[in-house]
Amino acid sequence: MSYACRLRHALRTPVGLTALTGVLALALVALLGPVVLGPAAERVDTGAMLQGPGAAHPLGTDNLGRDIAARVVVATRLTLGLTLAATTIGVLGGLLLGVAPAVLGRRAGRGVTAFVGVLISFPGLLFVLFLATVFGVGATGAVLAVGLAMVPPGARLVQNLTASVAGSEYVAAARILGVGRLRMVTRHLLPNIAEPCLLFAAQAAAGTLVAFSGLSFLGLGVQAPSYDWGRLLGDQLDRLYLNPVAALAPGAAVVLTGVVFALVGEVFAQAGRPVRPPAGGAVAAPGPAPRPARPDGALLQVHDLRVTFPDGRRPVRGVSLSIGEGEAIGLVGESGSGKSLTAQAVAGLVPSPGLVEAGTLRFEGRDLLAERPRGTALAMVFQDPMASLNPALSVGRQLSEVVEVHERAARSAAWARAVDRLRAVRIPDAARRARQRPHSYSGGMRQRAVIGMGLMGTPRLIIADEPTTALDVTVQRQVLDLLGEVRRESGAALLLISHDLAIVAGVCDRVLVMYAGRIVEDLPVANLAGRAAHPYTRALIGAVPTLTTDRDRELATIPGRPPEPADAHPGCPFAARCAHADDRCRTDAPELVPHGTAARVACWHPLTPAAPGPGNPIPEVRDASTAQEATA
């Protein structure tokens, strides 16, 4: 959704409506006030000096008998004009000084940054008063003083924002295309920092209003016979006890206008945050009655697992799987297929506001929908090991914490076990390394430490979500070998999630292939090479070049793109991309049914016969023809 679109959306919220009303009211008063009430505000009436509130003068009169209410209204235009002028100076100056380091050479850029650093170290108020003295008493001097005082904080903000944009790859790409400096600023830098700058400008306007009123109040700003709210406040303050409303009215005007500016800033901030579109029409159909997916005794039983989000996304749509004791299952799928959310649902980690529903979700015989898994029976390894390690604590401390919390082990015993487990996951010099913090570890060592953390208790299931994606190929192999070894030694079951079939094939016994929130095939690893039944599995295998791929043939590709998690598709989700699809595929969703002796597949037209016998050999040549059909 574009920014303009989000802005319109933000304006329809209560805050947005209030801000819009406030801005319109202020503009109207500023435009019409002096026209309508100008003569009344200037009329000197010696017969009605220093009166209190009354019918003729709702807020009373000043020492020349002028109507204070009219003067507060008329002062709106000057106050707003001066505030906006000062804000403009401040924001423009901030943008210029802030963008400069990204545009100038390295040395000049450092100079500008240092200059801004020096300026920002002065207290703001001191800076304003200093500048006001320099520029002299009067409205122009005050505008310059307040505006210039806003430049250093603005410049610092813009500098930080542009530095992150200037370091981005799209700016690097533009530089190697020879894009000029000016164009770089107008086309790449400014559009990408516009939203926080708008927010800053709105907040700065509120601050300027107060600062400006303060200067006028002190007599450094607007001079007689002109007047703004600050000056009116100053004039009436000595009569605060005689006619309080006369002094409070200009103060209230300042406060209300400041609130309007702040609300405008809030609207910009809201528009800057991406909002998701409201839920689409499709509502999750109630699932079939609970039934066990596998005979009892399985370690993890999942039947008809669904994860939905209130905005209509349904990333997991009825997944059934079961993992036996010590079994290693691979869960393979592309990004958006729902594989990670399936694992997170099992571990009870689905991010809010996701809703987990299931016919059955049992681990070690306990219902996970009702209670949390027992202590350390379930271990989780994530893609980014840094995300599961606390950078401020030593690795050994983080490992020993697991058993201190779950088993109430003594500190020294827990530490000894932590060192032992780090040794088990091949951390060299484990006793010394345990005292180090995660940043001294390499990526592969961090991931091994996280696996070691899972081994601190007695895990019966290890869920590893893309554990090697962030790692180097050689390190990837070590971590995979380690997972296999850990499984053999501890007897724990493994659910390995990956986008890469080859990674899973090396470690697991069985592979589940996920597509659009469903499991489309469940097959033994041995069947992957050449005997996969689902066209999607075949295409996935054909799309990845191996060390034996024919270099003269094009790689198999899958036309189109996977459905979005919010899309509704009545038939097979893969039908739109499948070369074998017919009308039935587009209208009826195939169930995951047993196929042959060891596999299950959700497809109306599986590519291998259900029961290969001696007279019905598996057609190996189908592999090539499928690849060509998929490319077509």
Partner 1 sequence: MSSLELRQLRVRYGRFTAVDGVDLMVPDGGITGLVGGSGCGKSSLGRATVGLAPITGGQILVDGTPVAHRPRRGPVQLVFQSPYASLDPRMSIGAAVAEALPPSRWSPRPGATARARAAEAAHYLELVGLDPGRASLTPGELSGGQRQRVALARALAARPGVLVADEITSALDVSVQGAVLNLLRRLQRELRFSLLFISHDLAVVRYLADQVAVMDRGRLVEHGPADRVLHAPGHAVTASLLSCVPTLEENP
**Which residues lie near partner 1 (CB under 8 A)?**
2, 168-170, 172-179, 187-188, 191-192, 328, 334-335, 443, 471-477, 480, 484, 499-503, 505-507, 525-526, 528-529, 539-547, 549, 551, 554-558, 561-562
- CA dihedral sign of residues 544, 550, 551, 556: negative
Which of residues 275 and 529 has its CB atom nearest to partner 1 in the complex? Answer: 529
**In terms of CB distance, is 133 or 549 closer to partner 1?**
549
Q: Which of these, 347, 446, 332, lies nearest to 391 by C-alpha position?
A: 446
| Shortest Cβ 146–partner 1 spacing (Å) | 32
* Closer residue to partner 1, CB minimum distance, 8 or 183: 183
As given in the structure block, the two tokens for residue 391 are 């950078």
Q: 3-state secondary structure string, 127-139?
A: HHHHHHHHHCCCH
Rounded distance between C-alpha atoms, residue 548 and residue 100, angstroms: 54
Looking only at the bridges linking them, the beta strands covering 518-524 and 510-515 are antiparallel
Q: How far is CA 372 from the centre of its chain?
A: 27
Between 242 and 526, CB nearer to partner 1:
526
What is the secondary structure of 561-597 as a DSSP string?
-PPPTT---SS-TTGGG-TT--HHHHHSPPP-EEETT
Comparing CB distances to partner 1, the nearer of 525 and 566 is 525
Question: What are residue 524's phi and psi, to 5 degrees?
Answer: -70, 150
- Which amino acid belongs to residue 3? Y
Helix (H, G, I), strand (E, B) or coil at 338: coil
Structure tokens at 625: 């023809």
Query: How far apart are alpha carbons 342 and 336 in whole angstroms?
Result: 11
Minimum CB distance to partner 1, residue 529 (Å): 5
Q: Which helix (H) or strand (E) holds 518?
A: strand 518-524
Q: What is the nearest approach in angstroms of partner 1 to the Cβ of residue 497? A: 14
CA distance linking residue 46 with residue 555, whole number of Å: 96
Rg (CA), the chain: 35
Q: How distant, in Å, are the alpha carbons of 4, 274, 283 from that of 1? A: 8, 8, 23
CB of 541 to partner 1, least distance (A): 7
Q: Is 193 exposed, middle or buried (0-12, 13-18, 19+ CB in 10 A)?
A: buried
Nearer to partner 1, 396 or 562 (CB): 562
Cβ of residue 45: shortest distance to partner 1, in angstroms? 59
Is residue 411 within 8 A of residue 400, CB to CB? The reply is yes
By DSSP bridging, strand 328-332 and strand 493-498 are parallel
Beta carbon nearer to partner 1, 169 or 238: 169
In angstroms, give the least distance from the CB of 509 to partner 1.
Answer: 8
Of 118, 113, 120, which Cα lies nearest the Cα of 160? 113
Sign of the Cα pseudo-torsion (426, 428, 430, 433, in order) = negative
Between 32 and 172, CB nearer to partner 1: 172
- In the bound state with partner 1, the residue whose beta carbon lies nearer, of 417 and 577, is 577
Rounded to a whole number of angstroms, the minimum distance from the CB of residue 84 to partner 1 is 27
The distance of closest approach from Cβ of residue 182 to partner 1 in the complex, given in angstroms and rounded to an integer, is 13
How near is the Cβ of 349 to partner 1 at its closest, in Å? 23
CB of 344 to partner 1, least distance (A): 20
Query: Tokens in use for 557?
Result: 């590709």
What are the φ and ψ backbone dihedral angles of 603, each rounded to 5 degrees?
A: -160, 140
66 or 538: whose CB is closer to partner 1?
538
Residue whose pair of structure tokens reads 């300042």 in the numeric block:
254
Please state whether beta strands 328-332 and 510-515 pair in parallel, antiparallel, or not at all (unpaired): parallel
**Residue 137, C-beta contacts closer than 8 angstroms, at least 6 positions apart:** 219, 220, 223
Instruction: State the minimum distance, in angstroms, from the CB of residue 267 to partner 1.
Output: 20
Rounded to the nearest whole angstrom, what is the least distance from the CB of residue 259 to partner 1 in the complex? 31
Q: Which is nearer to partner 1, 292 or 443 (CB)?
A: 443
Mention every residue, 6+ apart, whose C-beta is less than 8 A from residue 295: none
Ramachandran assignment for 550, one of left (phi > 0), alpha (psi -120 to 50 degrees), beta (any other): beta
Amino acid at residue number 62: D
607: which DSSP letter?
S
Token pair belonging to 31: 């435009």
In the complex with partner 1, which residue's Cβ is closer, 361 or 482? 482
Minimum CB distance to partner 1 smaller for 103 or for 525: 525
Q: How far is the CB of 628 from partner 1 (least distance, A)?
A: 13
